[in-house]
Amino acid sequence: MTYHETTWNMRRVFELHEDCVEVSLKSQHLDAHDKIRYADLQPGIVRFWLRPLVPFRMGLVFLVVGVIGLVVSFLKPELEFLRVLPFVAPALAFIVLFGYARKVEYAQWKTSAGVVLLNVARSGPDKRQFDAFVAEIQHRIDSAKRG
């Protein structure tokens, strides 16, 4: 079973095998590949929802720039190039905020020492299979602990 995850800053592919899950990660600055054994994970799932902060902050900055551009265009009408700023910056802000401001659900598993070893996000092309994929991981962890 394979699950493809895409978040605003990276892509991951999870492949379930008999004794481990293989994780391949690609981002702007990193390419990584790892194998995580089911036997190393504790059975309990921790679920949490996380809002990506960088695009959210970028959207807020665009809003502030738009307001500043609006104020400056009224105070200094001779600066004609700033007249477009109050329209373009808020439009960019809304695109970024509506595209990335929603929280993303994650499922994570820890080791017996409490260290997070695996997490999966409900994001990307396979997000509809998230619940089934998380259940399958949990089933394989339970099986590894029993046998």
Which element (helix H / strand E) includes 55? helix 53-75
- In this structure, what CATH number is given to the domain that contains residue 35? 2.30.29.30
116 plus 46 within the same structural domain: yes
Question: What pLDDT is stored for residue 65 in this prediction?
Answer: 82
> Do residues 104 and 121 lie in contact, with contact meaning Cβ atoms separated by under 8 Å?
yes
120 plus 82 within the same structural domain: no
Angle, vertex CA 36, rays to CA 34 and CA 41, nearest 5: 150
94 plus 74 within the same structural domain: yes
88 plus 117 within the same structural domain: no
109 plus 40 within the same structural domain: yes
pLDDT tens profile 67-77: 887 787 778 77
Question: What pLDDT is stored for residue 13 in this prediction?
Answer: 97
> Do residues 14 and 22 lie in contact, with contact meaning Cβ atoms separated by under 8 Å?
yes
38 plus 107 within the same structural domain: yes
Question: What pLDDT is stored for residue 86 in this prediction?
Answer: 75
> Do residues 108 and 48 lie in contact, with contact meaning Cβ atoms separated by under 8 Å?
yes
Residue length of the chain: 147
109 plus 37 within the same structural domain: yes
Beta strand 2-7 pairing with 116-121? unpaired
Number of domain units in the chain:
2
91 plus 120 within the same structural domain: no
85 plus 113 within the same structural domain: no
Question: What pLDDT is stored for residue 122 in this prediction?
Answer: 94
47 plus 6 within the same structural domain: yes
pTM: 0.73
64 plus 87 within the same structural domain: yes
Low-confidence spans in the chain with pLDDT less than 50: none
61 plus 32 within the same structural domain: no
Question: What pLDDT is stored for residue 25 in this prediction?
Answer: 96
Domain enclosing residue 128, as ranges: 2-51+103-146
Question: What pLDDT is stored for residue 45 in this prediction?
Answer: 92
